[in-house]
A and B are shown apart, each in its own frame.
Chain A
Amino acid sequence: MSSGQDNAPTPSVPRGGAAPGEWGGEWEVVIGVEVHVQPKTLTKMFCGCGVAPLNAPPNTHVCEVCLGLPGVLPVPNRAAVEACLKTALALNCEIPRHTKFDRKNYMYPDLPKGYQISQYDLPMSINGFLEVGTRKVRIRRVHLEEDTGKLIHAGDKLHRAWESFVDLNRAGVPLMEIVSEPDLRSADEARDYAMELRTLLRTIGASEADMEKGQLRAEPNISIRRAGADELGVKTELKNINSFRALHRAILYEVDRQRQVVESGGAVVQETRGWSEAEQRTFSQRSKEFAEDYRYFPEPDLPPLELDRAWVEELRAALPELPSVRRARLLEQLPATHVAIIGADRELADLYETAVARGAPPASTANWIVNEVAPSGKLLSPESLAELMKLMHDGSVTRDQAREAYLEAVETGRTPAEIVAEHGYAQVSDESELRVIAEAVIDANPQAATDYRAGKKQAMQALMADLRKRAPQANPRVASELLLRLLA
């Protein structure tokens, strides 16, 4: 649930922000993002129920505690606290000594207790930042809470026979809430921020952060104001966003909607809006029933947490190299377009660096990872990749053969050298052998040969294509040199 404004109430009326009408200038977009992340744990936040897989039958991972039955007491999960602390440290947050849990009260069937255990005024961490491109996004807080159950609505409008089905498998699953300050200025930046968070969370092992599995949920709050204004405009908060693409589109839509409202003389209403993937638009989810009146108070069932300094320092020291640091190092060796992909995924970066350490040529290895490994998601061992890259680099196999050997190596676990030997892939670099083929190609394509000699350089492509068809194993560099020489 929303708590972006918990410790900094925002005005609900426009102050110098987006006054209606009369503004013909540029609008500045202001975005903050609240991200809920499911930390990697085996059990729920306050009880020993296992975290259910997505396809688990309903209400099979529930107990007296997460069902909110009387007479039970919650006990916090150490692994969830640890994941939250690691995340906070990686986000450069301060970790206060004292922290506590609070009750956020509201009646809704997804929450059997009638309240959610969350953190209000003493969160587990505050005042961090995350660098995204050139922007330093301030992090207001990272705290822990519990997830709610899942509701399925059924019924038909005609008979007004609505009812809802409740599955409480998710109720009580740990969630970290990461709240940014409104420091982002475009849909691109908000998406990049969320993606950077995902990379960070995966790198430190705090979460799998798979958006499509609901392990990372981003809720942007958006307002617009006149360029140059200091005051914030009235914001709306968007929910129900299930992918980075949806995040980007929802923000673009919402900014446009707000601009139209304001430019046509209206005022933006502070509200929660849902994103409809099917209709590609946001819609109001305003509801009197859901008025924000949570009556937070300290959770009486849980003693406060005193965060032991030695523990915090131990966790800080155990953090792996963070993505921003690694990216800076990769940028010294590789072009930015490659670093954007390799540096965004710890597995790819590990693969690249280990393969290069095993003697793989850096440029073609990076190329391979970007063009073959990243799109297919098929990882092979760094040793195998190094071997394959060396075979390709010294001209023993063509790129197409290397691709086949790569796919086979991933599938069978055998080494590329074995596969290459077995298939008899060995690139033909022998000039006398290739010369016969090159001459045949020129004979078979007299028009292309004439065109090339007349100065149409692109005619070479047709000749090379024919050559590759006749001799797939031809070393392309040697073959094209031969063609050039024969046509000279």
Chain B
Amino acid sequence: MPLSKDEVRHVAMLARLGLEPGDEDFYADQLSGILEHIDRLQQVDTDDIPPTAQVVEIASRLRDDEPRPSLTQEEALANAPASVDGFFRVPAIQEET
């Protein structure tokens, strides 16, 4: 079943992607194609195969609780588009009340 325009807009919103008018149809087509492909994969008989979340054959890699040097504040903020007084500065995200 192809994706609806609303679904495309919703997914774009979640990913904070801006869509131009008319983009919905273009992406609906592409994403539907991907989903159709997944549907095809679903047809493979997997009854005897245990569910897998990971394909690497390692488990339980843990780290000792030992502090290591952090970046300096200058380094941390070096790539920030805007900063002030040691903080990253971002556009308003607070909801109006």
Chain A residues in the interface with B (C-beta under 8 A): 41-43, 47-50, 57-64, 67, 75-81, 100, 105-109, 151-153, 155, 162-168, 283, 285, 287, 289, 293, 295, 298, 300, 303-308
Contact = CB atoms under 8 A, between A and B. Distances in A.
A77 B76 CA distance: 22
Contact of B77 (A48, A59, A100, A295): A59
A287 B65 contact: no
Contacts of B77: 59
Contacts of A289: 95
B3 to A, nearest CB: 15
A300 B54 contact: yes
Contact of B59 (A105, A107, A306): A306
A375 to B, nearest CB: 35
Given A47-B68, A48-B63, 6 more contacts: A49-B68, A64-B71, A100-B53, A107-B15, A164-B91, A165-B85
B62 A48 contact: no
A59 B73 contact: yes
B90 A163 contact: yes
Interface size class of B (residues with CB under 8 A): 35 or more
Contact of B14 (A63, A164, A166, A293): A293
A63 B70 contact: yes
B60 interface: yes
A163 B92 CA distance: 4
B6 interface: no
B49 interface: no
Contacts of B66: 42-43, 48
Contact of A306 (B16, B60, B64): B60
Given A59-B88, A155-B92, A295-B14, A41 B65 contact: yes
Contacts, number: 133
Given A50-B70, A79-B65, A59 B92 contact: no
Given A48-B67, A304-B59, A59 B87 contact: yes
Given A162-B94, A304-B53, A75 B86 contact: no
Given A58-B73, A64-B71, A298-B54, A308 B90 contact: no
A43 B65 contact: yes
B86 A59 contact: yes
A461 B46 CA distance: 88
A67 B75 CA distance: 11
Contacts of A62: 70-71, 76
B62 A60 contact: no
Nearest to B55: A300
Contacts of A293: 10, 14
Contacts of A75: 61-63
Contact of B87 (A64, A105, A106, A165): A165
A293 B12 CA distance: 12
